[in-house]
Amino acid sequence: MSFAIVCFDCDSTLSKIEGIDELAKRAGLGDAMSALTEAAMNGSLPLEAVYAKRLTLIKPSRADLTWLADAYIAEQADDIHEVFSTLAAQGKQLHIISGGLRPAILPLAKSLGVPAEHVHAVDIYFNQDGSYHDYEQHSPLARNGGKAAVVSALTQAGKVVMIGDGITDMEAKQAGAYTIGFGGVVQRETVKQSADVYVTTASLRGVLTHLQ
């Protein structure tokens, strides 16, 4: 099946970590936040029910986001650069669509050759001293159905495929996208049941077979 536009989730897909959980651990709030993240990713809790709560408790600073950006790159998925260079050579338009925090994702995107305007994520705002102020509360990606909203706009330029590990990624089907569930980092039965195809290889290269 041929796709003009290939979209990837970030957490537990392009990188082996869940960014918000890593920030929580750094703040000494690890276990409680991990449970909330898992509930949102497997669909037992709506994303909007946990998004604000997690950030209000963690209060990530500018320095925390810089630290997370480095962690995303250090823990990037196996064979990620091969996958992105292959898709770019095929003329695919590449996007990252994530409910994660945009400043932390941008350096990983840049290393993969994905332009900043193709990074769809939630912005975060800091006080003058670099401490946490707020997040982009009206971002569609801070709630369920947000990835479908972003994908809907992209479908005007061609056929879209969305690749990710969570149930929010599978919601892209609502906008007409083909969905590939990626279980190389975390396997979720709800995602396996919802995806058009499900990949369990640890290497991100496992998705290439389905993108020709």
Show which residues are catalytic: 9, 11
- Rg of the chain over CA atoms, in angstroms? 16
What is the Cα–Cα distance from 105 to 27, expressed in whole angstroms?
19
- Alpha helices, DSSP H only, in 42-138? 47-58, 62-74, 80-89, 102-111
Confirm if 48 and 142 have CB atoms less than 8 A apart.
yes
What is the Cα–Cα distance from 112 to 211, expressed in whole angstroms?
18
What is the Cα–Cα distance from 188 to 181, expressed in whole angstroms?
9
Which bin fits 29, alpha (ψ -120 to 50), beta or left (φ > 0)? alpha
Confirm if 83 and 208 have CB atoms less than 8 A apart.
yes
Confirm if 2 and 151 have CB atoms less than 8 A apart.
no
**CA torsion, ordered 145, 181, 191, 9, to nearest 10 deg:** -40
- Alpha helices, DSSP H only, in the chain? 19-26, 30-41, 47-58, 62-74, 80-89, 102-111, 146-154, 167-170, 189-194
